[in-house]
Amino acid sequence: MARRLLVEAEECLAKGDAVRSSEKLYKAAEECIKALAERLNLKEVREAEEKGRWTVTLLEKAVGKLRQVRYGR
């Protein structure tokens, strides 16, 4: 899904629609975060499942944990 969104973002940008392109890029980044969180079995995935959706707070927490995995901080 993220790859498709990246292609769509490029198409929107080529048409001069920077707003729509940025929306597609944001969604692509969001999908990557979710996929990595699921792959690493982060608790935020379970919380999102319990809530029935991902919140900005859950995404931010997942990013923080992913950063720790990558950079050890």
pTM summary value: 0.84
Q: What amino acid is encoded at 72 in this protein? A: G
CATH number of the 2-71 domain = 1.20.120.330
Query: Distance (Å, rounded) from C-alpha 1 to C-alpha 47?
Result: 22
Calculate the CA dihedral of residues 1, 65, 47, 27 and round it to 10 degrees.
Answer: -30
Q: What is the pLDDT of residues 12-41, one digit of tens each?
A: 999 999 999 999 999 999 999 999 999 999
Among 9-13, 31-35, 61-65, 67-71, which stretch is predicted with the lowest mean pLDDT? 67-71
Asked if residue 47 has pLDDT above 90, the reply is yes
